[in-house]
Amino acid sequence: MSTMPSTFHLPADTSRLPMTLPRLHEKKALGEPIVMVTAYDYPSARAADSAGVDLVLVGDSGAMTVLGYDSTVAVTLDELLVLARATRRGLKMPFLVGDLPFGSYEISDEQAVATAFRFVKEAGCDAVKLEGGGETSVKRARAIVNAGIPVMGHVGLTPQTATALGGYKAQGRNAGAATRIAREAVALQEAGCFSIVFEAIPSAVTETIMPKMEIPVIGIGAGPAADGQVLVYHDLLGIREGRGAKFVQRYGDLLDDMIAGVTAYAEDVRTRRYPGPEHGYSIEVSELAEFRSEWP
């Protein structure tokens, strides 16, 4: 009969342990910044995993960055599940969150729970995210949490309903709007969300709300007072045209490198510089002679 060891020793580098909800809340309690990034496929997931980020979101932003839609509204549940499955295969350590697409959770609690189940069962997500902090979103969040699936909320600029908010612009820039966002954040927290994204709201508003937040707050264009930050993979690496939103910090210009690489390849093909002798395979002289003698 085996006995359990009296003590349990954690690895020296706990950052390479799989991220869990208790560890996320511990990071908040200790004031350790939480790093979140989007990913949509195996290569971007491998990059996020190797970089040691804490959270990975398969965002509906993949509608625009990967699938070429004009907005996030058009992407379907099945399309996002394909991206989520590919991302899951590339991750070992980060906590994976799947974004519930527009129209996949608003109709009823039953619809919301069924959609969340698909992200967990079919794509291996650890949690799901939904947008908005109004009555409907709060009810759907509570229903999904009660079904046993962790939920991340999202207030401020909510891209799925950007038209109703007056477009892709900062929110909470007057007292009434700031109060609404604060109340929505608290309501989502009370509904059982494990974390909330604050997007495109004044830094001072985030700072004012934070003392009421007992769960990790992830900011995107919401200032430094949040517990962590998230950026879209294609924005931070410059795999897109244009500069993006005001809050985006670029850490690369990979689209320029991609265009330059393909352009150089095309030029080499057209001028017959590629392929060169070093790119080909050889055949024994005798075998070549036999082949040629048999070929009409």
Q: Would you call 199 a catalytic residue per the annotation?
A: yes
- Burial of 80 from C-beta contacts in 10 A (0-12 / 13-18 / 19+): buried
Nearest to residue 136, comparing CAs of 167, 119, 161, 118?
161
The Cα–Cα gap between 150 and 141 comes to: 9
User: What is the Cα–Cα distance from 34 to 151, expressed in whole angstroms?
Assistant: 17
Alpha helix segments (H runs only) across the chain: 21-30, 42-51, 62-65, 77-89, 109-121, 135-146, 175-190, 203-209, 233-236, 254-270, 285-294
Catalytic residue among 135, 199, 214, 241: 199
Which sequence positions are flagged as catalytic?
199
